[in-house]
Structure 1
Amino acid sequence: MSATDDLTEIQQLLARYAVAMTRGDVDRVLGVFTPDGSYSAFGDTYPLDEFPALIAAAPKGLFLVGTPVVELDGDTAAGTQPLCFVEHTEHRMRIGYYNDSYVRTPAGWRLRTRAMTFIRRSGVHDSGRPHAFERSRP
């Protein structure tokens, strides 16, 4: 597979994530990750088994993503992708970017980690308020 093929596959993977998040299709969102994948935001990291609750608690709307910058390194890669989220009821926006790690699997490229960074009106870049999502812990 060429570098161009790898980049195209990763871009399609990230497009599937954005469309599935927009549609609220949790199974398809989970399908873009490796089984040991994780998502980081709100001052914490969430394994995939907690991701459905995180998605359910999140505002609904349109996930607009830009073309990622991806650095390939054999069967792994790292990248950054800009995001503009538009909430559906009042069209409020959140902007920021994802920092990702990817791995080639037998099923193709998958996200291993995805970390959200929000860009605030003040210009501050942060991972969100820790209390924005309450985890249920045993």
Structure 2
Amino acid sequence: MEQLTTHDRQDIADLLAKYCLALDGRDWAALTQVFTEDAIAEYEGAGTARGLAAITDVVRRALEPLDASQHFLATSLVETGEDGATGRTYLIARHIAYRATGGDSFTVGGTYSDRFVRTPAGWRITHRRLSRVWTEGNPAVLSTPRSTR
């Protein structure tokens, strides 16, 4: 593949942001603008999801019960790959459940390792792996039903 242009890099950066905004906004339909239909996502701690519908189901089940979440991305390196591009991006994801016993916050720090492809609709993620590097707080947050506040 040819070198990535500045425009390609910005489009991929926007794609990464769309993912975070979709998760935190609970806009599951927006994930169609992030992943290919046959994408694979390996979420450490939650298993592997094959296909857009399965990926949507995994993140929906993890996040819908929460009162809030906020995904932050930083340090991202995107490079030309064999069939598109590859990228590694640091993340910090904060999860909040007000009814959780033992504290209402659980934070995960990790790295997304992605493969991107250019489609007629723009860049999409075809493979994602989330590797946890550290956690802080109360892991019970991820299994606490949503509060009624």
TM-score of the two chains, using structure 2 as the length reference = 0.73
Match of 2:48 in 1: 44
* 1:115 aligns with one of 86, 110, 129: 129
Give the CA deviation at 1:51.
2.0
Match of residue 126 from structure 1: none
Distance 1:67 1:79 in 2: 10
Of stretches 11-20 and 87-96 in structure 1, the one that deviates more from structure 2 is 87-96
Alpha-carbon contact 2:38-2:50 (below 8 Å) kept: no
Query: Gaps (5+ residues) in structure 1?
Result: 122-131, 133-138
CA distance change for structure 1 residues 51 and 73 in 2, over 3 Å: closer, same or farther?
A: closer
Tell me which structure has the larger Cα radius of gyration. 2
Task: Give the secondary structure class of the aligned counterpart of 2:50.
Answer: strand
Q: The residue matched to 1:6 in structure 2 has which SS?
A: helix
User: Which consecutive segments of 4 or more residues in structure 1 shift more than 3 A?
Assistant: none
Gaps of 5+ in 2: 98-103, 136-142, 144-149
With 41-50 and 95-104 compared, the bigger mean Cα shift is at: 41-50
Residue 33 of structure 1 corresponds to which residue in structure 2?
Answer: 35
TM-score normalised according to structure 1 size: 0.78
Q: How does 1:73-92 map to 2 (within 5 A)?
A: 73=81, 76-89=84-97, 90-92=104-106
Distance 1:118 1:2 in 2: 28
Q: Which one is further off, 51-60 or 26-35?
A: 51-60
Alpha-carbon displacement from aligned partner over 1:46-69 (angstroms, at most 9, x marks no partner): 322212321222144111111420
| Shift, 1:91, TM fit | 2.7
Post-superposition CA distance 1:83-121 (Å, at most 9, x none): 101112323211101000000111111111111100136
* Equivalent of residue 105 in structure 1, options 110, 115, 119: 119
The number of residues matched between the two structures is 122
Percent same amino acid among aligned pairs? 29
Q: 1:2 to 1:52 in 2, by over 3 A?
A: closer
Q: Root-mean-square deviation (CA), in Å?
A: 2.1
